[in-house]
Structure 1
């Protein structure tokens, strides 16, 4: 009767512990989720350029070859792949914790107990066989298996495994995000290199024009139709353009080295066709609708998976407050002589123990871990919302940039055409002394700046298209 009474008291105690634990676990507070706009502009067309594979989006064969090399050799991408391997092994660790831990062991030893002890007195009064006492010095041999298994009653271990699996999937999305940025960075650097090549050509062509004008003004000075001031002005303009030529050459070198670094190789010439920069037209972008960012952008999917993993962490931390049930067992053979070791059932030993334990006093560490898990979950939720907002803003900015750059490029192209015509007119007027050297200099200078700005605008057009492709979530497939 007393035994049943003790069991009842023990059960009531466990119920009280569980009730107290549940009462202390406050729910995780969640901010209101951010709702996305229906469209970037008035159009709600669902066709999205992010679904285009990068090899189709970037038709330049030289650029395709560079991206292919980078995807094989880039160090940052290789480090990300190792993070995936780390996460994959973490899943194996968590999965293993759900299974019994079984170990095998063997031991050999010797023991002598005091005669005036309970064990010694018992051995002295015991006969191993009729007429043969137990010796004072005994050997001890053992061979067997031992198992420990925590029964996952509250799904603590399963939630830990689920969190590890989710974080593995998040690292895969993280790798995709690295690929997206890597493809975009190489493309932007490639178009920047092409723009420098074309700027260098323009400067060299301008130097030729300036030298011709310089020769004319020197001839006019010799004929008494110009003075030393005009000669020096033209000479200074030639020298200024020649100095800019070396600046552009340095920028070309640095951009080539930047691309080589992204490709994971030492500096070497970059294969490219600079004429394609002038003739090629940037891709037409279809932005789709904002909600497609949730499925197309790897960083948003990564943030979503990280949020789910923190929810699993909170559930696992909650389970630490509840009683845990562990089963310990073993089976094997034990004897004081090797010839008796496998004698059954005399040498057979086994044990089976079930432990039910629950934290009662000084649970501050468990509370701290639980509160930490809650804070991590709320942090992950804010990060998820921030990532979505950042994605929308990036797309919105680049779409606006593309539209404005189209207008800017058209106007700048007309300006270049006008100034190119003006150069020919000023040279003819200067030869016939109907225009002074200052007008020729200013016309050449304005034409040079305008042509360089036109090339820069073309590069920005390519970069804007590349950036909106990246912002939409394209480039990793």
Structure 2
């Protein structure tokens, strides 16, 4: 007899497990974390183990200009994009709380009241009519229904579906924290870029003004020479055109300065105002010394890599959650309270006491296409997260490699451009002297001045690119958020 009772429970459970065993299987995925030993193919293996890394330097120490530090401080307090990211962290944190509550019993309390009149010539009505509550007192008609009870429902997390769902939410919460760090890193870099751009424009504006003064002086000389019949009206007009071109360039630079100031103000979350800066020694600024460490350090230092890794971890857990949908689920429900048809009987114990306890084991049997589709989608999202993770690592390596090469090449280019500027400055004096003594024509003077101006502006651009490259490599190594 006991065996027959046991079979009643074992048989349905066996069917559910057999159905669950038909779950589609997918090959496990493993991400590739291997990176080259060095950022330079022609590296010296004796130096390849040097782990000194610029990214460990706090941004307040890395950037020496107090005006730039002040701007970054303001941006970290007021930048709207950063504030939006902080709210995303709060949303992800709340989702963790939701998932955590899902695998705990749900308990509630309820109260209800109703009234019912059944037909006398029914089984319930005939029974009620003959029921005596007290001697000589029958069941009232119509019949009231009063109830106060506590209810509980609990899905037993047999296959860790709910627990894995909570872990996935935690991983996504941590990924939003890394996302916030990535926003901070990029925000600092963007402000520093714009700040150095502003200093470069100030220097270019000063060079153009000096050139206007030089060209105006040459124009006056040509006018005097024309009066002395030593130059023509063509020379006068050519010099006049050069002066006007330079003045036009001055206003173009002023517009660029305004745009760059507004860009910085936008990043700082404020309306337009002057950007405090010291532009007196821009050309003497030196890029920070960079130590790149080893490529494997990117995995720990870059917030975007850690964010992608956490998103991949969450996607893997989502696959486990989707797979658990094929398995049987066990739900337990319970209730306890009081129930009576009159208020006076509501708390009469034990007659008005009600309670219930039930367990239900269910598993999908037929038409599981929706579950299969969600499982397939979860695996596709896992593949997306895997490829995104590997792409992020590759991109990080290439960014650092590019910036290190850029720093090296810009250093060499700056030296050559400096020599070019020195040579052209000397040629301006020589051309002026030759022009005054009628040994050179006006065209040679104009071209010399024009070449000198272009080379000076290019030198300023190269200096700006040097400073920006030092900012970018600091960002690409993962510095700025710590």
Distance verdict in 2 for CA 1:406–1:149, change over 3 Å? same
**TM-aligned CA deviation for residue 14 of structure 1:** 2.7
Corresponding position of 2:146? 141
Alpha-carbon distance between aligned partners in 2 of 1:108 and 1:323, rounded to the nearest angstrom: 37
TM-superposed deviation, 1:321: 0.7
Task: Please name the residue that 2:23 is paired with.
Answer: 24
Cα shift at 1:29: 4.6
Work out the CA distance in 1 between the residues paired with 2:336 and 2:310: 44
Confirm whether residue 454 of structure 1 aligns to residue 459 of structure 2.
Answer: yes
Deviation at 1:438, TM superposition (A): 1.3
Q: Which runs of 5+ in 1 are unaligned?
A: none
- How many Å separate the matches in 1 of 2:191 and 2:98? 38
Give matches, 1:83-162, under 5 Å: 83-162=88-167
C-alpha contact (below 8 Å) 2:19/2:365 kept by paired residues: no
Q: What root-mean-square deviation, in Å, do the aligned CA atoms of Structure 1 and Structure 2 show?
A: 1.3
1:99-143 deviation digits (Å, cap 9, x = unpaired):
111111111221111111111111112111122111221222111
Are 1:333 and 2:332 matched, yes or no?
no
1:287-337 CA-partner distances (Å, limit 9, x unpaired): 000000000000000000000001111111111111111110011111111
Residue of structure 2 equivalent to 1:281: 286
Distance 1:428 1:451 in 2: 21
Q: For 2:64, what is the secondary structure of its paired residue?
A: coil
**From 352, 357, 371, the counterpart of 1:366:** 371
Residue 82 of structure 1 corresponds to which residue in structure 2? Answer: 87
Task: Output the CA distance in 2 between the equivalents of 1:456 and 1:230.
Answer: 31
Question: 2:210 is matched with which residue?
Answer: 205
The match for 2:39 is 40
Q: Which moved more, 1:122-131 or 1:25-34?
A: 25-34
CA contact (8 A) 1:181 1:470 kept: yes
Q: Which of 268, 272, 297 is residue 267 of structure 1 equivalent to?
A: 272
Match of 1:15 in 2: 14
Q: Is the 8 A contact 1:300 1:388 kept in 2?
A: yes
Structure 2: distance between partners of 1:429 and 1:323: 98
- Give the structure 2 partner of residue 431 of structure 1: 436
The residue that corresponds to 2:54 in the other structure is 49
Q: Is the 8 A contact 2:424 2:452 kept in 1?
A: yes
TM-fit CA distance, 1:19: 3.5
396, 419, 423: which one pairs with 1:418? Answer: 423
In structure 1, distance between residues paired with 2:342 and 2:22: 57
Distance of 1:347 and 1:166 partners within structure 2? 49
Q: Secondary structure at the match of 1:24?
A: coil
Q: CA deviation at 1:439?
A: 1.3
Q: Bigger CA drift: 115-124 or 202-211?
A: 115-124
| Offset, 1:229 | 1.1
Shift of 1:199: 0.2
CA deviation string 1:241-260 (max 9, x = no partner): 11111111111111111111
2:221 to 197, 210, 216: 216
| Match of residue 59, structure 1, among 58, 64, 68 | 64
Q: Partner of 2:235 in structure 1?
A: 230
1:24 Cα offset (Å) = 2.7
Q: For residues 59 and 416 of structure 1, what CA distance do their matches in structure 2 show?
A: 28
Please say if 1:184 is aligned against 2:183: no
CA apart distance, 1:275: 1.6
Q: Which whole-Å CA distance do the structure 1 matches of 2:100 and 2:110 have between them? A: 24
Secondary structure at 2:281's aligned position in 1?
helix
Task: Find the aligned partners of 2:144 and 2:282 in 1 and give their Cα distance.
Answer: 88
**In the aligned structure 2, how far is the partner of 1:30 from the partner of 1:123?**
67
- What SS is found at the alignment partner of 2:359? strand
Task: Name the CA distance, whole Å, in 1 between partners of 2:281 and 2:355.
Answer: 81
Shift of 1:6: 6.0
Cα offset, 1:32, TM superposition: 6.3
Aligned length: 476
**Aligned residue number for residue 356 of structure 1:** 361
TM-score, normalisation: structure 2: 0.96
Contact 1:46 1:288 in 2 (8 A): yes
* Deviation (angstroms), 1:31: 6.3
CA distance in 2, matches of 1:188, 1:175: 20
8 Å Cα contact 1:102/1:145 also seen in 2: yes
Distance 1:109 1:4 in 2: 45
Structure 1 residue 4, shift from structure 2 partner: 4.2
CA contact (8 A) 1:324 1:357 kept: yes
CA contact (8 A) 1:29 1:378 kept: no
Quote the residue 1:409 is aligned against.
414
Residue aligning to 1:387: 392
State whether residues 18 and 321 of structure 1, in contact with CA within 8 Å, keep that contact through their aligned partners in structure 2.
no
